[in-house]
Amino acid sequence: MKEKEAEWSLPSGVWAQTDEAFVLTRTALDRPVSAQIGVADMAGLVGATFDDSTPPRFFPPEFSHSPSTGKSLRKPSSGVVSGWAPPSGNAPVDASGQTEVRGLRRTPHRLRLQDVKSRLPEADPDDVMEMPPAGDYQFFSTPLGETAAALIAFDPTKGTLFAWLPASRQWQPMEGVGDGLVAECELPHHAWRAEMAKSDDHASQLLFVPTEAGLARIRPDVASLTYEVDHIGGGRAVGAPVAFDNRIWIPVMAASDEIRFIGADPHGAEHIDVTLAAPAQTAFDLSQIGLPVSYHRVAVWGCKNGQLRLLKQADNRVSASFEPWPANVVPHLDYGSPYLSRSGELWQACFDTSTERYVWVRIDRVQGAPVEATTLRLCSGKLNFRIASKTSSPPWEEPEHSNDTASNDFIIPLLESSVGEAVIGLRLASESGIAKAFESRERVEYTLCFEDVDSEVAFSRAFAPEPWRIRLFIHNGTLWAYHAQARRIEGWRLA
């Protein structure tokens, strides 16, 4: 709606028009656009349309034609904008219900690289970004309308957010407004994850992260370089959040060694609590905890001495319980993700100290008998690797044909696509075995590899300490790789 000659109030914000030029002055959340954001950055952030002039003139994304000339306007070519929540790009939470398993190293994004068969590990990446200020970051790609997405770097250990300005190619800090700043988080790197949902007014995305003050719900407004946050739960988060039963659940430590599960409505302020008392014989040992996994009627947080569990009952209530691991079984919660079988069973990699064998324990339902495996297999979800050979067969079954037993190389799967059998993996060499390699803090050589049903290609080679701490993320049609000790963030275009 055109309110007056020089101003347009639109879903994307308030735009000022001067001599046929349009500039965003207030965001969709009715905040002033930051002075740090130039016209070209603003256009990239909101997906502005533009004409054929040099330099181009920008128009609100709602405009398909110039209001003065009637000529068609061009749209930014950012491809499909679907968003990314770290670490593995689960789809945004949808109130209509969740059917896909969440918490594995699986993403609904396609992972095939452009020109994949011509890639070489020595070649330069397709694109690079400067690193954010010193820290250890997770990355959100938050959709802004249908043609644009904003990239946000978030450091859980400091509670700080930075926005990427696409035209000036720099990071700018985001400031908290209203009630304050995001609380810090002390969860280990391998146990951290987040969820993302669209706000009720569709003007922004909501980010849900674990903190020392409970579940933080963050509403970023990138064009103003600000955010709002509120903390839900009133206690320290002892695990990461996961979407389950149309809510976002997180375990927090309550008084008297009790665990409170907070179930937050992703689109509103209402939340529910489910309390779990400490077991009669032993206390919760949360010194080691893994990523939560939710599937159908169950959500599970594996920890050192058992599993924190939520179960949706037949009467639609959600109940909480604690299930100890079988006798002599120690979980390996930092070795990839659980395995999702073809029949929908979820299995966790563990070690039996009495037999000194790796075993797999079923976690989607209580089952006491572990299944023995001959070797350690690293898993991303439905796919797993026997040393360097990809397979979708159960990790306790040996493949009929394998010729890699004499190799010192092994692959850590970092990210698996749920469309097809594409996986991005990390190839390392270790003479002392996979488990010993995970204990090393030395700087080592690694290779990033792409593999699907008809291609197996190494596309990047570098050196880093603990390279398995690499975070992959997808933003604007590009696969990016970030490591806190790297000099830059590198990207490869997706097909």
Structural contact between residues 21 and 57, judged by C-beta atoms closer than 8 angstroms:
yes
pLDDT at 3: 45
pLDDT at 51: 92
Tell whether the model's pLDDT for residue 347 goes beyond 50.
yes
Instruction: Report pTM.
Output: 0.94
Please name each of the domains of the chain with its CATH number. 2-59 (no CATH), 106-493 (2.130.10)
Using the structure block, give the residue that is written with the tokens 């679907």. Answer: 82
Cα distances (Å, whole numbers) of residue 115 to 106, 112, 125, 126, 493: 23, 9, 12, 11, 9
As a whole number, mean pLDDT of residues 452-473 equals 94
Tell whether the model's pLDDT for residue 85 goes beyond 80.
yes
Among 157-161, 229-233, 275-279, 451-455, the least confident range:
275-279
191-217 pLDDT, tens digit each: 999 999 988 777 789 999 999 999 999
Going by pLDDT thresholds of 50, 70 and 90, the confidence category of residue 67 is: confident
As a whole number, mean pLDDT of residues 256-260 equals 84
Structural contact between residues 314 and 326, judged by C-beta atoms closer than 8 angstroms:
no
Give the H/E segment covering residue 130: strand 127-130
d(CA 49, CA 325): 56
Going by pLDDT thresholds of 50, 70 and 90, the confidence category of residue 138 is: very high
d(CA 150, CA 47): 10
Tell whether the model's pLDDT for residue 448 goes beyond 60.
yes
Going by pLDDT thresholds of 50, 70 and 90, the confidence category of residue 1 is: very low
